[in-house]
Amino acid sequence: MGERGGEYQVGAAALGAGGEGAGAGECVSAASCRAPLTLGIETSCDETAVAVLGGGGEVLVNLVSSQVAAHAPYLGVVPEIAARHHLEALPRLLAEADRQVGLEGVGLVAVTCGPGLIGSPLVGSCFASAYAWARRLPLVGVDHLEAHLASPWLRLDGQPAQPLPEPALALVVSGGHSSYFLHRDGGVRVLNRTRDDAAGEVFDKVAAALGLGYPGGPRIDALADSGDPRAYRFSPPRIKDPRGALDFSFSGLKTAVLQAAASCGELPLATPEDPPPWVRDLLASFRRTVVDWLLAPLEELAATHRPVAVTLSGGVAANSELRRRLLAWCEKRGVQVVLAPLALTGDNAAMVARAGQLRAARGEVDDPRALRVYPRADWKGGADARGRPLFPPL
C-alpha cells in the first residue's frame, strides 16, 4: 500500500493482480452489479460489521462485533486495538453470514472507505478488495456519512428499503459527526456542521469525567430519565461567522457541565453505579440542552427548503429524547419523519451495503486493485467553496 497525500491506496500487487487465466487483471463492469445479493463491510471505527442485503435493500443478515469491552478501560477508542480487532473479527463474521444465508449469490461488495480511524478503514477496504478481486465481483467504496444517510430507509422485517422522497432534511448525529444534510434533485449537500466536538463525543467525555464509563451516551440517557431537565441552564454558543450561523458547537457545553459537576462534588463520582439526585438532574439538563441545540436549526432549514420528510441517523439517533422530540416536531407540522431503526443507529454494514447498491445502480463502481481510503479528508465528492464536503447523489 502506498501513501499519497493523505490517501492510502490498495495496490494491485497486494491483491495478486496479473495472475494466469482468462480475465486476470480485468475490472468487473458496472453492468454486472444487478445481482440479487450485496455484501456490506464496515470497519471505519470500533465496530466490525458484515451484512447481506437483497436486491431491493432487504436486510437478510446484519452482524456486528462490538469492541466496547476492549476500549472501555481507556474511556475511548484506541486505533491500534480497533484495527487488530477488525482483523480478527472479519473472517469470523463473514463465515457466520455464509452460514446464515450463503454467499454464493453475492454479486456486489460494498465497503466503507472513510472517514474513520486510519488503520480501521484500511483493514476493511483491503479485505473487501481482496474478496471482490478473488471472486471477480464489482466493488463499491462508500463514504461513512453517505451510509448513515441511507440507514433510515432500511427495514428490519425483511421488506425492501423505503424510497426516498425529496426534498428531505437529514440529521446525522454520532460520536464524530453532527450535521444536517439536504436531499434534493437526486443529490445531497451539507447544510451545517459542528465547529468542534460532535454531540456523541460530548456525551462520552462528560460520562468519562464523571466516572460513568464508556460509551457514555446510553448511560447518560438512562440516568437522565430520572432527573429534572430544568434544574440547570446552559447558554447556547455564539458563532460570529454569518456563514456558519446554523453550525453547532458543543465544546463549551461540555466545559460548563463539568464545571457544574465539580462545584457539587469531587470527580469522578464516588458512587457512579448509583449517582445522587443532583447528578441525575445535571444529566437530564445536559441531555435536554444537547437536543435543544440539535433541533434549533430545524425551523429555519425547514422554512428555507420545505422538506416533505426529515430523517435521523447516527449513534446519537438512539437517544430517547431526541427521537421523541423530533417525532413530535414533524407530527405537528405534517412532515414525514423517518428514524433509523435502533439496531441501525450505530455503525453497521447494512447501511454500507445499501449505499453501495445505490451507487452501483448509477454505474459507479471501483477497481478492487486501486481502491483508495480517505481516513480524514473529504471523500470523493470533494468540497464546496466553504470547505464543506459535497456528497454524490443518493
The better pLDDT of the pair 94, 33 is held by 94
> pLDDT tens digit string along 4-16?
233 333 433 333 3
- Which domains does the chain show, CATH number per domain? 2-162+344-391 (3.30.420.40), 198-294 (3.30.420.40)
User: Is pLDDT at 215 greater than 80 in this prediction?
Assistant: yes
Torsion on CA atoms 42, 370, 114, 79, rounded to nearest 10: 80
Beta carbons of 22 and 135 less than 8 angstroms apart: no
What's the grid cell of residue 253?
457545553
Stretch (H or E) spanning 263 = helix 251-264
What value does the CA radius of gyration of the chain take, rounded to a whole number of Å? Answer: 21
Reading the block at residue 43, the C-alpha cell is 470497519
Output 91 or 265, whichever has higher pLDDT. Answer: 91
pLDDT digits (tens, 9 = 90+) for 204-214: 999 999 999 98
Q: Tell me: the pLDDT tens digits for 53-82? A: 999 999 999 999 988 888 888 887 888 888
Phi-psi region of 24 (alpha: psi -120 to 50; beta: other; left: phi over 0): beta
Q: Quote the pTM value.
A: 0.86
Residue 36 sits at φ, ψ, to 5 deg, of -70, -25
Q: Give the strand order in the sheet containing 187-190.
A: 336-339, 309-313, 168-173, 178-184, 187-190, 390-391
pLDDT single digits (tens) 293-326: 999 999 999 999 999 999 999 999 999 999 999 9
**Beta 139-143 vs 168-173: how paired, if at all?**
unpaired
Segment 331-373, tens digit of pLDDT: 999 999 999 999 999 999 999 999 999 999 989 999 999 888 8
Q: Looking at residue 3, what is its pLDDT? A: 33
Reported as a single tens digit per residue, the pLDDT across 270-296 is: 999 999 999 999 999 999 999 999 999
CA–CA dist 251, 256 (Å, integer): 9
- Mind listing the pLDDT tens digit for each residue in 27-56? 344 344 444 799 999 999 888 999 999 999
Element (H, E) at 60: strand 59-66
Residue 17: pLDDT above 50?
no
What DSSP assignment string belongs to 2-32?
EEETTEEE--TGGGTTT-SSTTTTPPPPGGG
Give the strand pairing for 37-42 and 7-9: unpaired
Report the pLDDT averaged over residues 169-182. Answer: 94
Spatial contact of 113 and 378, defined as CB atoms under 8 Å apart:
no
**Average pLDDT along the chain:** 86
